[in-house]
Structure 1
């Protein structure tokens, strides 16, 4: 009687492992040995919207915009805790300035996001693009969604010139600021006073209250002109913006524009030298001379 029971158990086990898929396009990832994904192509879809076969997940969108691999091939490296939790190694050809980080394969669950069966052709790769040491020398160290252009990649002589230029510029700004605001400060603190000398009658015959005898004609009165009063009054007027305030504003604006295009951002070179100008709205892309294989590692997610 033991033989039939063993045969029944074997039959049940065989039946359990031969469960039919829920659809003709439903597959198990454990049966997939490799995936080939291409840029500018979308995955197939059934329940949810399709996704790009290749999508960059950072760490910075600007790094993602610098370069996109054309093809990525992912290989099944076995599973973790579950046979359908497949682990992958993904390889793509990248310039020496970049390397792959995490590469997660994302597939559409056939019936829901927890289904072990996935839709055939629905898998895409979400990868992270990282800068190598050479990439940081060319593009600067990344911080969040920007770059720290700083003075990295500049020679010692260029750094000295850059620092000297900064010192001269800020010294000029300080001097102009003093020239602009010192008169106003002096007026507020009462450091400037009106020191007009009193007018005397000497030379005009107006002095004294003596009689008119023997003095002769005293001569014409001093000329009065509206311009005289205007000239004396302007000495006591408050400071108003003028040449130096315009010079200060113009120097600051010019310095800011110069720093964007000058040595403060060594990576911003001409396209002839293969450099990259990350200015907003720029359609120019950096040029790369060669590529090498780079590999990333990741797991499986379902959507």
Structure 2
């Protein structure tokens, strides 16, 4: 065991599930997370750099890979004093790090207006950025309103003009000695059929026929057209989100550098014959050294986060 001046330590690296060295007391974990966000994620490695200071007053800058939803907050490097607490000389290997994690709301991460729901704001933004998607959306809304109007008007029309019961017309008076045809004398037997029933509301020229009284109703092709419009709109928005490289208003510098940097294409992975199993040249997905891949579920992609703090000699 040896001692070293705390102010002369250039950098420290801390590992999760590891403990420190100890001479006067019990070892402590190298990494200790404080706060509720610690239940979501904890980094495996944290590296701290000496920013300067004297005695036990030394400032540190710590960096770790975290998901987009989390940030490094306040950090504190705690080391065991060689002779006791407050000693500027500390036991080598006895330093541990206490850090806090801060959870960032999704609206702030994506630069959305906090006055509107996140999904609604993103949906409106996508529509405004794509004129074709906006056109299809308006067309879909117009078709939906047209269908709804016809359905409602047909329903109200049937209620305003219900089917009225018909009353039979009384037969014309017949005098004794007369019949339906002239020239007859005396009573004639009633051999004619009764006339058809009539209504006191004569049909007008504008009144729809019975086959048309039901009004217009949408059919198979109308529904298929609306489904095609909706699918086209959703696919267009999805393609734009995949190919959009414009820097968002709330994007951080590290995000802009990663997204706007040209992606280097990896070497082709091909069979010895120079072609893939599918008959064409095999290709691999492009990669970027700064792209640390997907983070934990619902927390976003991994990126480098920085925290600042001081020292403590125990």
Shared fold, TM over 0.5: no
- Between Structure 1 and Structure 2, which shows a larger proportion of helix residues? 1
TM-score normalised to the size of structure 1?
0.42
